[in-house]
Amino acid sequence: MELQPFRISIQQQTLDDLRERLAHTRWPDEINGAGWSYGTNLAYLKELTDYWQHHFDWRKQETMLNQLHQAKTTIDGLGVHFIHEHGKGPKPLPIILSHGWPDSFFRMYKLIPLLTDPEANGGSAEDAFDVVVPSIPGYGFSDRPKEKGFNQQRIAEIFSQLMTQVLGYPKFGAHGGDWGSSITEQIAFAHPDSLVGIHLTDIPFMHLFTVKPDDLTPEEQAYMKAGQAWQMSEGAYALIQSTKPQTLAYGLSDSPVGLLAWILEKFHIWSDTNGDVESKFTKDELLTNATIYWVTETINSANRLYYESQHNPPQTGASRTDVPTGIALFPKDLIKPPKAFADRFFNVQRWTEMSKGGHFAALEEPELLAEDIRAFFRPLRSGV
């Protein structure tokens, strides 16, 4: 498993084509006063698209991202892109951070320095981490799977090999949210002896379907009902991506505005923004994430993970892991689980309910998340 240094370098013709497509967008109509209730708001999308076309500087973002140490390696026939930043402290703890959808490795760019150099960010050098941030296969600069069945269990195996065999970390920690929480859980199922602990920002959604309602407490039953209500009001995207992702891909792969609208809606509604998405994310942050999808042509392969999870669910989905687990919940995330539900599947040793923040916590509230990760792993470091 040879390592190759990696630098992002998008061809200029790709960027020129993007601006040309933005200039020729055909806009739909909108109901008067609709706001965001029908989906992505037309006025704001036009504003953001104008910025994307005339002001957004991808080369500036590319330079910023290339300040991070990146590499690619081949595992199980797939090229895997990842960031690898060494910690500044007496004994950094290795940790792998797994992102989700519709974000990318970019989700972690604010979190990385808070974990690698805590002393420079109000913490203690004793809490430093060696940080590894891979792009999920099918996302960003990792290769796209070409065969059926490539679910989060297989991704977990690749990430485990990345840490132990490629980078030589026999013991490490793991953190994730969204798909990242499910991937992290799968690492814990398959390789518990490699982990000192895992840290999550949500309970993998598949667990909503692995328990019998009669076995639930009243609080858990209320959580299940909230999950069903959310699925009916907000979950249509997941049903489409779980059933007919290829049909959706034609529009999203051909229209950058269509792609942006599909992604932007989630950043708006899943975050603690009070309706103003730029109160938590800058235009440059929103567009850097969307541009990564566009220039790598990965929206279809990213969406397809929903299909693979639905049609090829992990075999260990109903199991419980004894790996020490920390869970940090942010109030504007999708559905808030009760601790009793989490205890069914995880050895919960730290449970934190944050005062603010949402689904993309690493990008939205990186300081809060970094402190919780440091605090959770602090007593576990002796196990490395």
Report the catalytic residues.
Answer: 178, 306, 359
CA neighbours closer than 13 Å in the CB half-sphere of residue 108: 27
What is the separation of C-alpha 24 from the centre of its chain, rounded to a whole number of angstroms? 31
Distance from C-alpha of 143 to C-alpha of 72, rounded to nearest angstrom: 10
Query: What residues contact residue 195 under an 8 Å CB cut-off, 6+ apart?
Result: 171, 172, 173, 174, 187, 188, 323
Query: Exposed, middle or buried by CB within 10 Å (0-12, 13-18, 19+), for 16?
Result: exposed
Distance from C-alpha of 205 to C-alpha of 110, rounded to nearest angstrom: 26
3-state secondary structure of 320: coil
Distance from C-alpha of 332 to C-alpha of 353, rounded to nearest angstrom: 11
Query: What residues contact residue 291 under an 8 Å CB cut-off, 6+ apart?
Result: 18, 52, 56, 58, 61
Tokens read off for 192: 């518990």
For residue 329, what is the enclosing H or E element?
strand 324-329
- The DSSP result for 117-178, as a single string, is -GGGGTS-GGG-EEEEEEPPTTSTTSPPP-STT--HHHHHHHHHHIIIIIS--SSEEEEEST
